[in-house]
Copies of this chain bind each other. A is one copy, B any other.
Amino acid sequence: MYQRVALIGLGLIASSIFWAGKRGGVAAEFTGYARSKATRDTARRIGLCDRICDSAAAAVEDADLVILCVPVGAMGDVAAEIAPRLKPGAVVSDVGSVKKAVIEAVAPHLPDGVHFIPAHPLAGTEHSGPESGFAELFDNRWSLLVPVEDSDPEEVARLGRFWRALGANVEEMDAEHHDLVLAVTSHTPHLIAYTMVGVADDLRRVTDGEVIKYSAAGFRDFTRIAASDPTMWRDVFLTNKEATLEILGRFTEELFALQRAIRTGDGQHLHDYFTRTRAIRRGILDAGQDIDAPDFGRGLGRRD
């Protein structure tokens, strides 16, 4: 599909692209680069990428597809660094969780004759680093392509085939809508989970030991989300400010309405609200985007 694919940044997503790419036979060669020497050493030790380079410029040399897999806040600098070494006709893509800010940061650096096709695979776990990747990460998940104004349709289609070969479903979306959808489905939920865990950690009247021991009652699901990479998430909130603040405003409004129902003892309001939210869960199960095993099937057996 591509002769040489360069992965810049070697964390969970890049390492999963490599393993899924090997499984799917999408490229003759993968090169890789990470800023930290320790990460490059780990990558070499575990056989991540066919060749690990000691500079981003060397990694992108002769590559047909370059995927920027660094935190959103680092995209601009990396683009500036690799721009002079990009092969004419090469495709530059990325995996950032925010799209408007990445386009603004990257596009100005890219020379004419290079195709820029931003993308965002909606997949991840709470683990990070080069050893956290696995070939199945993208299976049946969505990868969103966010073409810019002058993206070549043929190259967009080829990148779509690449992601399908990694196991993903592919859809196109414009950057502004992408950032709003992700603010709802990902960014605000993460911020809320981080907040809840922070509150528990900070509460003097309940010890950390108690919070940890009794976490199975709901709290532990929040801690899983709140264990994701801090740098990645800092950058997401700083660069998707507008949409996140909009959804946070809506969230606070709803939360205050429920809080008021609790204070005034309005059981009907609470019951109606809690009933309505069940339908969305059903939709997610029907769409194959989660499993119905109780508690995510956390190793619990069932009677039947």
Contacts and interface: CB of A to CB of B under 8 A. Distances in A.
A134 B303 contact: yes
5 contacts: A125-B300, A184-B219, A197-B277, A230-B271, A237-B261
A255 B267 CA distance: 26
Interface of A: 19, 73, 97, 122-127, 132-137, 139, 141-142, 144, 171, 180-182, 184-203, 205-206, 208, 210-228, 230-231, 233-235, 237-238, 241, 244-245, 247-248, 250-252, 254-255, 258-259, 261-263, 265, 267, 270-271, 273-281, 283-284, 287, 289-291, 294-303
A197 B280 contact: yes
Contacts of A189: 196, 218-219, 221-222
B274 A262 contact: no
Secondary structure of the A contact surface, majority rule: helix
A133 to B, nearest CB: 7
Nearest to A253: B199
Nearest to A247: B199
A180 B211 CA distance: 11
B194 A192 contact: no
Contact of A211 (B19, B125, B184): B184
Given A184-B200, A195-B251, A290 B238 contact: no
A203 to B, nearest CB: 6
